[in-house]
């Protein structure tokens, strides 16, 4: 695919010099790897040296960025670099084209419902009373349990399993090898051994959610585990039974949430963060990577860091003091010794 600099500026609703408008752009790449004819982007001072050396023909750059060094590329000034980049990437994005066909190798129960324009790939299994809605794509090796509903235009990548009674909304994307509706981790200790508590609830995933690969989203013991509209989950995430993830909340890789915790809307959870069970986190809570949250967060917009997680700025001040503890201890010991010497003189 090829666009001109002028066409890209048009898409982004910005202007570029007339003399550069016909310059062809055949792809997008990072600064250090971009070649002539490619578009790149600059959004952080960390990459200033790469900006000076890049072979890109054009660079998306902040509207207020002051470029003092001579450059051999066309600057495309925009208010928000990442938003502009996402917009242009959509123009270059290539995806598999799926026709509304059902593979001969698929195993589909006669009591299931398959609506129009659905693609069912190789070796998909669809159990009794499952409903696959209009325009959905099941890429291959998917397992769809009984009474499952897959919403319109939802896409399941290879190896996704959606277990019985779960409900997936419209325009949902679930990447490879994720399991929706595995049993929650529920046991009771009885007569010297652990007895399993039946997990008879389900998982409900609302519209416009995206879930990465190799995630586990457990069914509720009773009721529903709930992923609300617009939430985005990275790869390798564990969501335990009866958890609720609020609308438009984002979670980075390897984070996990223990049972019955309710996370508010527009929260941001960093990689490898852990949240214990039966908590409530207010809207817009921000949890830094590798933090552990052990108590309710009632105030909206709080930033947390550390284990156990505390208020972000408090953590930074505390950590600054912690790093200096050996020196502080040495100073205190010296002061104690001098004080003792003064007492002895008296």
Question: What CATH code is carried by the domain that includes residue 12?
Answer: 3.40.1390.10
How far apart are alpha carbons 221 and 229 in whole angstroms? 22
Domain co-membership, 236 together with 330 = no
How far apart are alpha carbons 252 and 216 in whole angstroms? 14
Q: Which residues of the chain have pLDDT under 50?
A: none
pLDDT tens, position by position, 126-159: 999 999 999 999 999 999 999 999 999 999 999 9
Domain co-membership, 173 together with 288 = yes
pLDDT at 132: 98
Domain co-membership, 309 together with 322 = no
DSSP of 275-329, one letter per residue? E-SS-EE-TT-EE-TT-EE-S-B-STT-EEETTTTEEHHHHHHHHHHHHTHHHHH
Q: Tokens representing 239?
A: 């969501």
Nearest partner of 76 among 123, 102, 39, judged by Cα: 39
How far apart are alpha carbons 50 and 61 in whole angstroms? 13
For tokens 């277990």, the residue is 163
For 173, counting Cβ atoms within 10 Å of its Cβ (0-12 exposed, 13-18 middle, 19+ buried), the class is middle
Count how many domains the chain has.
3
Residue 16 forms part of a structural domain: yes
Q: Is 83 a catalytic residue?
A: no
Taking CB atoms within 8 Å and a gap of at least 24, the contacts of 332-340 are none
Residue 98 forms part of a structural domain: no
Residue 97 forms part of a structural domain: no
Domain co-membership, 51 together with 120 = no
Q: What's the domain range around 65?
A: 3-92
Residue 102 forms part of a structural domain: no
Residue 100 forms part of a structural domain: no
How far apart are alpha carbons 336 and 342 in whole angstroms? 10
Residue 99 forms part of a structural domain: no
This prediction has a pTM of 0.84
pLDDT at 288: 95
Domain end point (choices 92, 117, 132): 92
Residue 74: its H or E element: strand 74-78
For tokens 């967060």, the residue is 297
Domain co-membership, 173 together with 284 = yes
Domain co-membership, 138 together with 216 = yes
Domain co-membership, 32 together with 13 = yes
Q: Tokens representing 231?
A: 């939430």
Of residues 83, 122, 241, 278, which has the active-site annotation?
Answer: 241
How far apart are alpha carbons 195 and 322 in whole angstroms? 45
Domain co-membership, 115 together with 131 = yes
Question: What CATH code is carried by the domain that includes residue 203?
Answer: 2.160.10.10
How far apart are alpha carbons 288 and 309 in whole angstroms? 9
Residue 293 forms part of a structural domain: yes
């Amino acid at each position: 695919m090829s666009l001109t600099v002028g066409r890209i500026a048009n898409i982004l609703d910005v202007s570029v010099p007339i003399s550069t408008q016909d310059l062809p752009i055949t792809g997008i790449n990072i600064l250090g790897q971009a070649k002539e004819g490619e578009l790149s982007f600059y959004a952080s001072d960390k990459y200033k040296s790469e900006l000076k050396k890049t072979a890109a023909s054009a660079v998306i750059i902040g509207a207020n960025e002051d470029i003092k060094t001579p450059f051999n590329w066309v600057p495309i000034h925009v208010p928000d670099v990442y938003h502009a980049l996402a917009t242009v990437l959509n123009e270059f994005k290539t995806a598999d084209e799926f026709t509304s066909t059902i593979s001969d190798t698929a195993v589909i129960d006669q009591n299931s419902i398959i609506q129009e324009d659905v693609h069912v790939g190789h070796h998909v299994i669809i159990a009794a009373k499952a409903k696959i809605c209009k325009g959905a794509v099941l890429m291959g090796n998917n397992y769809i349990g009984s009474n499952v509903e897959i919403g319109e235009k939802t896409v399941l990548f290879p190896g996704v399993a959606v277990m019985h009674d779960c409900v997936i909304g419209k325009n949902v994307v679930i990447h490879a090898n994720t399991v929706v509706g595995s049993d929650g981790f529920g046991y009771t200790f009885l007569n010297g051994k652990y007895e399993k508590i039946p997990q008879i609830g389900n998982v409900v995933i609302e519209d416009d959610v995206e879930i990465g690969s190799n995630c586990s989203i457990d069914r509720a013991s009773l009721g529903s585990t709930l992923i609300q509209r617009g939430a985005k989950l990275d790869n390798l995430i564990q969501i335990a039974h009866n958890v609720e993830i609020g609308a438009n909340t984002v979670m980075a890789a390897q984070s996990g949430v223990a049972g019955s915790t309710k996370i508010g809307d527009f929260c941001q959870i960093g990689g490898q963060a852990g949240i214990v069970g039966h908590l409530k986190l207010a809207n817009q809570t921000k949890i830094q990577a590798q933090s552990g949250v052990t108590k309710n967060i009632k105030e909206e917009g709080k930033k947390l860091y550390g284990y156990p997680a505390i208020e972000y700025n408090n953590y930074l001040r505390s950590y600054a003091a912690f790093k200096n503890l050996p020196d502080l201890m040495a100073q205190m010991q010296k002061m104690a010794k001098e004080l003792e010497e003064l007492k002895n003189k008296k």
